[in-house]
């Protein structure tokens, strides 16, 4: 399974830690940058990851900026993407089980690397439960289709 990763300049160190962690769990990582410490615009990388996931180049995505907010908003603008910012593992796990999120976001200025690993692990290890949740997720996607 392939995980697309994207981040801005605030999150290079954390991205590399999480990339190694994810690879250690047996996933392939598609690193879409940035890998430069120069100040950059997070929407570029949120969109790149969103497009990689929506287009099938990757199965899931992980995006990181200072708070996780801006880059997740950008990823969510790509049709078919359900990204959410998580600062703890419980929300990360439930976001997959109930909301079928396909992009995980967190903030490099918010969570430390050990908590980020726990969040990532909880999210990757969980899977969509379907059933009543499927109808609700479909309702979310219909909002997108009506736009």
Active site residues: 65, 98
Asked if 102 interacts with ligand RB5 (CB under 6 A), we say no
E strands, the chain, are: 2-7, 28-31, 60-65, 83-85, 103-107
- Under the criterion CB under 6 A, does residue 70 sit at the interface with ligand RB5? yes
**In the complex, minimum distance from the CB of residue 70 to ligand RB5, in angstroms, rounded to a whole number:** 3
The answer to the question of residue 67 lying near ligand RB5 (CB under 6 A) is yes
Quick count: other Cβ atoms within 10 Å of Cβ 27?
Answer: 18
Q: How many CB atoms lie within 10 A of CB 10?
A: 20
- Between 33 and 66, CB nearer to ligand RB5: 66
Q: Rounded CA gap, 54 and 74, in Å?
A: 13
Question: Is the Cβ of residue 78 or residue 124 nearer to ligand RB5 in the bound state?
Answer: 78
* Residue 98, C-beta contacts closer than 8 angstroms, at least 6 positions apart: 129, 133, 136
> CA–CA separation, 58 vs 49, rounded Å?
8
* Contact range with ligand RB5 by CB under 6 A, out of 12-20, 47-55, 66-74, 132-140: 66-74
Per the listing, tokens 């439930």 go with 94
Q: Quick one: which of 31, 66, 87, 137 contacts ligand RB5 (CB under 6 A)?
A: 66
Determine, following the binding rule CB under 6 A, whether residue 47 of this chain makes contact with ligand RB5: no
State the residues that interact with ligand RB5 by CB under 6 A: 8, 10, 42, 65-67, 69-70
């Amino acid at each position: 399974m392939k995980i697309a990763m994207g981040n801005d300049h605030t999150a290079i160190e954390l991205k590399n830690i999480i990339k190694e962690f994810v690879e250690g769990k047996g996933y392939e990582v598609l690193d879409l940058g940035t890998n430069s410490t120069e100040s950059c615009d997070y929407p570029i990388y949120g969109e790149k990851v969103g497009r990689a996931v929506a287009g099938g180049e990757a199965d899931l995505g992980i995006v990181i900026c200072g708070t996780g907010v801006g880059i997740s908003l950008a990823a969510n603008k790509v049709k078919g993407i359900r990204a959410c910012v998580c600062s703890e593992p419980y929300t990360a796990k439930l976001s997959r089980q109930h909301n079928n999120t396909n992009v995980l976001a967190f903030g490099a200025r918010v969570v430390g690397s050990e908590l980020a690993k726990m969040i990532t692990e909880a999210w990757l290890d969980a899977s969509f439960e379907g059933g009543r949740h499927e109808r609700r997720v479909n309702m979310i996607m219909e909002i997108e289709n009506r736009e």
